[in-house]
Structure 1
Amino acid sequence: MKTLKKLTLALTLTASLAFTAFIPNVDAATQHTVKSGDTLWKIASQYGITFNQLKTTNKLSSNTIYPGQRFTIPNTTGITAAEKDLMARLVHAEAKGEPYAGKVAVATVILNRIDSPDFPNTLSGVVHEKVNGYYAFTPVQNGEINKPADAEAKRAVNEALAFRGQGSGSLFFFNPKTAKSDWIFSRQVTVTIGNHRFAK
C-alpha cells in the first residue's frame, strides 16, 4: 500500500511538473522575426531599446540582417507593456496635433521626471502626481487619458525609451499661449516644438 501511495505521489508530481513546463513565462523576453525592410535601428526603436542593446543581446557582430532571422528583445527599460500604454495615452492626449518630435519630447519629459529626485520614481506615480490638489497633467484631470493612444504616440514612447537619458533634461512642457502660471515662464527653456515649450 505504501508503495502504491509513493507511486501515485511520484506520478502526480511528474504530471504537475510537465504541465508547469508548458505554461508560458510572462517575463520571457519578446521575440522578433525580421521582415523585409527591417533594420536594426527600426527594430530597436519599435521596442524602445537601444541599437547597441539589440546587437549585444543577440551577439551580432555586423549590422546586416536577413528576413526570417529571430531576435530576442530584452526588457532593459524596466517599463512594462501596461506602463507603455499609460505613457502613450498621456502622450496622445497631451500632444494631439503636435509634430512627431513634440510627442517624443513629451514622452521624454515623463521619463526625465521618473529619473529626477524631485518627482515620483515610477511611471504611474509621475502620471498621477497631484500638485496643490490638481493632477500635474491636464488629461489625467479631465479624463482624456482614458482614450486609446494612436500608433504615432506609441511609436514616440518607444523612441523616447530607446534614447532615454539623452536630450536637454526637460522636466516640464507648456503652451505659452494658454499657460496661466507665472512660475512656468520662469523655467529655463530647453526647446520649442510646435505649440509647446519644453523647460527644466
Structure 2
Amino acid sequence: MTPESSTRPSAAERHPKDLRRPTPQDSGLERRAGEPVRLDEVDHRLLAALADDARIPNNALAASVGIAPSTCLTRVRRLREEGVVRGYHADIDPVLAGRPLQAIIAVRMQGPTRARLSAYLRQLAELPGVLNVFLLGGAHDFFLHVAAPDADGLNDFVIEHLSTDPDVALTETNLIFQHLRAGWY
C-alpha cells in the first residue's frame, strides 16, 4: 500500500465534481491569486483531447498525445489539482430532454442589490431550467441562458423568478433560434 492510498480520500475524490453540486471554486467564481498555471504543448494537447471527449480512457488519451499512460494520468491529475480542468460534464440536448425553447435573459438589478451580485449569481444558477449564468460588466448585471418546455413555460419562469423579485430592476428576454457548442480549445 502506498502512502497516498493509505490516506483517507478527500471530499472531491469521494464525490467527483460531475456528481456533486458545483461550488464557487468549481465554477471559477473565486478570483485566483498568483500566476496563471504554466502549460506546455503536451498540456494543451491533453486539454484539447479532453474538451473533445471527456470520457476518453486514460490509455487512449495518452496515445492520442504521444505520452505514456502513467505520465498522462499524472498530468491530468495536476491539471485538475491546479484548477485548469474544473470538472467533467454531460452535454445534454435540451430539445430531447423536453426543453426545446432556449433564451438569453438579460437581468439588471436594483442599485442596492449590486453589492450582493456574487451571492445572487449562485441563486440564479439554482433556478429550474437555467443552463448558464454570466455575471457581466456593462448595462446588464447578468445573462441567463435558460431552456423551457414552451413559450408559456418561459413566460412563467420570467414572471415567477425574475419579474416578481423586488431586487430585479429589468429583464429582457431574447429567444435563441440556434445554438452550437463551440470547441474553443
Give yes or no for TM over 0.5.
no
TM-score by length of 1: 0.28
Structure label with greater radius of gyration: 1
Instruction: Give the alignment's TM-score, normalised by structure 2.
Output: 0.29
Whichever structure has more strand as a proportion of its residues is 2
More helix by share: 1
